Structure 1
């Protein structure tokens, strides 16, 4: 049985009632996302509050709005935020992103999202897990169009996707005028194909940076120096 919490160096994620537990994708996205110039951040689909807490630890000046649709996840995220050192800088809001994007007058410097995956195939037996893992409630187009409405000029959209879904998302983003600024291509081992891609998108043309990251370089749970360097401020083992 999985632990009902995940301990990081500076905070703890209680996840007993969470549909989606702490995973590599979320930690990588939170640790990697560029924060230069960001003050107002919108975390879409915060779940346990993981991304919001990682970003708050990384940068002391951030003001973070963490959106979550599932009421039980909202309770979990608020509990985790309240127990953290950064509760005064994170507001957990129960809301559907599509409605929020249409109604809010606030503009954000960064929108970060570990979005629903698995847009086809059988849904999860647990309704909350299905909501967290399927794109029935938040499609890639919803995310792109909503981000375009809520981001301030010069703002960025950061997300992580399975490598197999990346080409379709990239095509849709480019068609809607988004520009890929930075990406991290994640390989499980040195000789395996990429399984995840992290991307940071903007609306203005500029320089592009692409890097590769290997998770395990010396066998099971023998992590690469690059992965340890990226996550050392968070994981206990890094």
Structure 2
């Protein structure tokens, strides 16, 4: 993708950001905030007024998509990388949602805040125990260990409102680890959406949700392609409000 990605209602400058816009991010941005597993339909959490947090906001694309979808929401993005934070902050300020958006540069685990959130989202680094990227900024953006996820679940247990939820997009292999960790911090599995490239392929990602109290959780499926290079009708429908090509 180019340095600036133009959406229907906003633009995202990707200069100086180690993690560019990707499929994982836009799927989370287009689906997060639903009661049922983070899938692409369902009942939105507090649709009239929400406080949303995007952990590791990167370019800010997920936060911007959520600001577009929830017209009265206040959206905060936290980013540890200084240059990425500057870029995301600029993207926020140049968007039509700028009055409802905030950028915090820092480490989420050292962020001193009393804010409570209806929805916490993250497209986190998830290459655990793998060969690290020699580029230090990309290493931070892409690689982590289980301590990071333990800290994120703990943070959510402390900062979610009573009816709030956290939704993460992660490799399907992390499902059970996250469920076990959530239980330790008083959070319940609130459903998930398993993502497959094709109808006959295995799930490789899931958008998984946890809440203080589950609301009829279930597992749903989402298929990206109906053929090589041809997006599924579900994908087209989901991203149509955002992508100029649809």
Please confirm whether the aligned pair reaches a TM-score higher than 0.5, indicating the same fold. yes
Q: Does residue 1:43 correspond to 2:60, yes or no?
A: no
1:225 is the counterpart of 2:233: yes
Q: Which of 70, 73, 76 is 2:81 aligned to?
A: 70
What residue number does 1:163 align with?
A: 172
How far apart, CA to CA, are the structure 2 residues paired with 1:87 and 1:69? 21
What does residue 109 of structure 1 align with? 118
Cα distance in structure 2, aligned partners of 1:165 and 1:182: 14
Is the Cα–Cα contact under 8 Å of residues 129 and 145 in structure 2 kept in the other structure?
A: no
Does the aligned pair in 1 maintain the 2:56–2:77 contact within 8 Å? yes
Offset, 1:26: 0.6
Conservation of the 8 A alpha-carbon contact between 1:185 and 1:198 = yes
Normalising to structure 1: TM-score of the pair?
0.93
Residue from 208, 222, 228 that aligns with 1:199: 208
2-side partners of 1:145 and 1:203: how far apart?
A: 12
| In structure 2, distance between residues paired with 1:116 and 1:10 | 27
**Structure 2 contact 120–156 (Cα < 8 Å) conserved:** yes
Give ranges in structure 1 of 5+ residues lacking alignment.
none
Tell me by how many angstroms 1:7 deviates. 1.6
Does the aligned pair in 2 maintain the 1:116–1:132 contact within 8 Å?
yes
Question: Which whole-Å CA distance do the structure 2 matches of 1:220 and 1:236 have between them?
Answer: 21
Aligned to 2:109: 98
* Distance in structure 2 (CA, Å) of the matches to 1:106 and 1:215: 35
Change (3 A) 1:136 1:107: same
Determine whether 1:214 maps to 2:223: yes
Contact 1:11-1:84 within 8 A present in 2 as well = yes
Q: Distance in 1 between matches of 2:89 and 2:146?
A: 22
Which runs of 5 or more residues in structure 2 are unaligned?
A: 35-43
Deviations 1:193-238 (A, max 9, x none): 0011001210114311321011001x22211111111111112223
Tell whether 2:38 aligns with 1:27: no
Give the CA deviation at 1:140. Answer: 0.7
Contact 1:48–1:76 at 8 Å: present in 2 too?
Answer: yes
> Displacement of 1:136 after TM fit?
5.0
